[in-house]
Amino acid sequence: MIKVSAYRWVPPFARGLVRDLRVRWALEEAGLHYETRLLAQGEQMTPAYRELQPFGQVPAYEEDDLTLFESGAIVLHIAQRSEALMPADANGRARMTTWMFAALNTLEPHISNVVTLEIFHANEEWAKQRRPALLEMAQKRVTVLSDRLNGRDYLEDRFTAADLIMTTVLRIAERARLTAAMPVLEAYRQRCEARPAFQKALASQMADFSEEVRAAS
């Protein structure tokens, strides 16, 4: 049985963005059954959980005697088992992996910098001074991505795990309105989000948060 750790509660602004969504989505695309292990507040820092995820984050992935952490690594592991997520040819698999790394290393950090500043520090003077430079760098990254996707439905010739990861990054960008005026990226994100596997994964994550609300009432 596959188990995926997730938070039992997060603030409303984070719902639909927590990175276990990537793993749920990949498992849905691959047609693999899984269960979620919901963590109460503070449980992620216990020694028992940090045996699974050394940094005390989600998701952690458990399957038989295999334990993994880092959402990108977990999605890649799942993709290697599924033709739905990974091209059959070696060159296609290599390109897919390149785009996964690009999403996680080249785009996400710059996008997250802007979003973090706007959510937690928007009214602080240092943040107002820092924001233009952070925004400029993030916009450069998403512009390059838009150019790549112009005239394409997906990063390669069909949907792969790279599109899955990239879409979750663009969902973060959407919170900072970084792609609002970029029709190519908006259409790409919406195209990927329209996939039944994404809709099921998102509903699953949101249902777990709703369960916490019911339990507290």
Domains defined for the chain, CATH in brackets: 2-84 (3.40.30.10), 90-196 (1.20.1050.10)
Mean pLDDT score across all residues of the chain: 94
d(CA 159, CA 204): 22
Provide, rounded to the nearest whole percent, the portion of the chain with pLDDT above 90. 91
Q: Are 75 and 161 in contact (CB under 8 A)?
A: yes
In tens, the pLDDT along 86-129 reads 999 999 999 999 999 999 999 999 999 999 998 899 888 998 89
Q: Are 205 and 6 in contact (CB under 8 A)?
A: yes
Place 217 in a pLDDT band, splitting at 50, 70 and 90: very low
pLDDT of residue 212: 54
